[in-house]
Amino acid sequence: MARKISGRNAGTRRAASDEVRGKDVYRPSRDEILRYVAENPDRSGKRDIAKAFALKNEDRIWLKELLRDLQDEGLLEKSRKRLKRAGALAHVAVLDIFGRDAEGALLARASEQPEGPIVLIRQPRGGTGPTPGVGDRVLAKTFPIEDHLGDENEPAYTARIMKVFEKRSDTALGVFRILKDGTFRIEPVERRQPELVVDKDSQGGAKDGDLVEVMPERASRYGLPRAKVISVLGSLTNEKAVSMIAIHAHDIPHIFPAEVIAESEAVKPATLDGKREDWRELPLVTIDPRDAKDYDDAVHAEPDTDEKNVGGVVVTVAIADVAAYVRPGSALDREALRRGNSVYFPDRVVPMLPERISNDLCSLREAVDRPALAVRMTFSVEGRKIRHSFHRIMMRSSARLAYQQAQAAIDGMPDDKTGPILETILKPLWAAYEVLKRGRDSRQPLELDLPERKILLKPDGTVDSVIVPDRLDAHKLIEEFMIQANVSAAETLENKKQKLVYRIHDGPSLAKQESLREFLQTIGLSLARGAAMRPSQFNGILERVRGEDNEQLVNEVVLRSQSQAEYNPDNIGHFGLNLRRYAHFTSPIRRYADLIVHRALIGSLGLGAGGLTPAEEARLDEIAGLISQTERRAMAAERDTVDRLIAGFLAERVDETFDARISGVTKAGLFVQLPQYGADGFIPISSLGDEYYHFDEAARSLFGERTGKGYQLADRVEVRLVEIAPLAGAMRFEMLTEPKPLPGSKRSFHKAKGQRSRARASQPRRGPRARR
């Protein structure tokens, strides 16, 4: 069995070695380094490793070079500021329990690595703690097994359960269909679901085309399995039916328990007590989308009157005081954590908090007294933040404005509402934004140019049109004000030595950097080597291709090279924003992470009731893991709903041709997007031509072996819609555009050994796929 190496025994070994070899210094072997990293996931940074092996001075330089070699060889990966074995599980992971071993112990795999290593679940000591079973999804801390021999059929990790997620219902979702012979069937909305038969007395009042929830019954020996309709959710063509599919498929809680509703209705409005300052005379305004239903942030700005800060500004951001109403351990709080965040669909919102809280008591309505947590920030003329302070206040919004409305006033077209406040409120806001923009430009966050599409619906919930809203200075102003407020929150809590949940974003991994570097070489661009990448290096590349034919391509590839942001009590900074410390503070109505930060500020600054409790502090690892998982769940559900809506919108247009852009390249074929609609579909490699096609991962292309011609990521092409499955949100296309010469592909292809994949044109045709 491998021996765990600690700082103490490593130092003892070094001392013994020094005694034997005189001045020779003990240096750990590569295997010892790898073993230490595997066994100490919480202490695997370069400093931790150096301390564990008592390495100093030139030995640390040697260690840095060795770790870099191990990363280049793919044996180690950098995760935040720590190292981990390549392919290793995260220390806190979401696991799916799939079975038991011969002794009855539970076995699991990471939900994001269904083919990954097996995890052995430790039973709670003394029978305490959550007790999961087969089929459960859990949040757990994982620990590598020291003497694992590499057998993929044997557990490579053990895990200690932190939380058992709510079990999935035994029900299923489908569309009720009446066949020509008068029999009833359930058409599944997910490909893995079987088609079901419904008896007449189990119809439950469903009509043809209704979206229904069914309870599958015991399968008979012959024929299709049977089911009973337990609820009718409405016609598939009706408003909100499409998003209900995603809500069910992703287990998103959407009905508030009775005790939560009762608790929210019993809440009384906050008052101006001794801990709350009266800021009702300060002309704060809200600036939001036209269709916003809750307003949780308000802003104000004015020139700094301090003679020592000529040209500086004072910016105030006020955020709804959700912590005044949602107290730790309450039914409201437990449900908010279970949801983690609000989920936004084109046809509905699934809120984190009941309407009584989100749309009423915590909505900063115009001319209505509302409690808030405010931060007042002072900036120099260069956009550098000089100081800030937090206050628990009572405010009264002076005006509710839409982004377009505020921007029009600044652009010389004020209306009846913006005209009277143009000089006193709006122009000072824009002047402050110009100051903060100087600081942003100096900071150089990652500046990707990727338009976001918005689906506009008809009254019946079907798609009317897809638009790309203009990106206005009004949007950028609010965004930058909120970023600075978030930074201030993190800085204050750090200064107070208060634990919190950070919003972290790791830099691109070495593997992704190398993949991006290989791609850029195919279009004549270069990316400097080195693990310590900066956003400015990516911005330089993006600037070089601005206005060029491959601008969209490069933006897409740079985006895909980035890591995913998450919540974590351990801070590593935010790479994309180029900030050393960052925490979500500005949206506690719709994100639980922000509510945690509010409570931490209230408690550490002595701002009254509703602060972070010791029990919450002890669970921050668990809470961060939960809300990171619910955020990913929400993103997947939102994406699925958009796919289904667009697929339904195009269902009558099979055999039509469309202008498209290649949005993904794999060894199986091409993914294409219709820019006009934001819809994605698939083109199997079997339909591309009568020669062998090779997948060039570096160049993001498929090219013909004989001609060298092919297709590359971001190419504009013409396609024909061949097949569509609206319920699955999947479309299959046929390529109409002839392949183009790709002179660099063969060279890049043969250079990248092990990354080739050849497919014969005669291989079986594949069905439509929803997304890459």
Residues facing 301 on adjacent strands: 315
Under a CB-based contact definition with an 8 Å cutoff, are residues 488 and 557 in contact? no
> Residue 192: what pLDDT?
61
171-195 burial, b at 16+ Cβ within 10 Å, e below that, comes to ebbbbbbeeeeeebbbebbeeeeee
Residue 670's DSSP bridge partners are 665, 683
Task: Look at residues 138, 136, 144 and name the one whose alpha carbon lies nearest to residue 118.
Answer: 144
**Phi and psi angles of residue 337, each rounded to the nearest 5 degrees, phi first:** -70, -40
Q: The tokens of 134 are what?
A: 């087969």
Angle made by CA atoms 491, 492, 495, in degrees to the nearest 5: 85
Reference 727, options 637, 646, 672; nearest CA is 646
Closest to 28 (Cα-Cα) out of 42, 45, 9, 43? 9
Structure token digits, residue 361: 């008591």
Q: Give the integer Cα–Cα distance in Å for 375 and 483.
A: 12
229: which strand partners? 214
Give CA torsion, residues 531, 536, 539, 540, to 10 deg: -90
**What pLDDT, on the 0 to 100 scale, is given for residue 682?**
93
Which residues does 161 contact at the CB level (< 8 Å), separation at least 6? Answer: 121, 122, 124, 129, 130, 132, 138, 139, 140
Length of the chain: 772
* CB 602, CB 276: distance < 8 Å: no
CA distance 123 to 132: 9
Q: Whose structure tokens read 């893995």?
A: 192
Q: What is the rounded CA–CA span in Å between residue 104 and residue 351?
A: 40
- Residue-level pLDDT at 164: 82
Distances (CA, A) of 531 to 47, 64, 509, 572, 712: 16, 11, 8, 15, 28
What's the pLDDT score for residue 560? Answer: 85
CA-nearest of 650, 710, 655, 703 to 680 is 650
CA distance 571 to 574: 9
Q: How many helices (H) and strands (E) does the chain have?
A: 18, 35
Integer CA distances (angstroms), 415 to 247, 427, 511, 519, in order: 40, 15, 53, 50
Residues 6+ apart with CB under 8 A from 578: 443, 444, 445, 446, 534, 535, 536
C-alpha 502/C-alpha 410 separation (Å) is 35
Outline where DSSP puts E strands in 495-538. 502-504
Q: 231: which residues sit within 8 A by CB, 6+ positions away?
A: 204, 212, 213
* DSSP 8-class letter at 323: G
Residue identified by tokens 């830099």 is 507
> What is the model's pTM?
0.77
Across the chain, which has 772 residues, the per-10-residue mean pLDDT values are 38 40 62 76 78 82 83 69 68 81 82 79 64 78 75 82 71 86 85 80 88 77 82 71 82 91 95 91 96 90 96 98 96 95 92 95 96 98 97 97 97 96 98 97 91 83 84 96 98 97 90 84 80 85 87 85 91 94 97 98 96 94 91 91 88 92 89 84 89 86 90 90 85 93 57 40 36 32
Burial 579-606 (b: 16+ CB within 10 A, else e): bebbbbbbbbbbbbbbbbbbbbbbbbbe
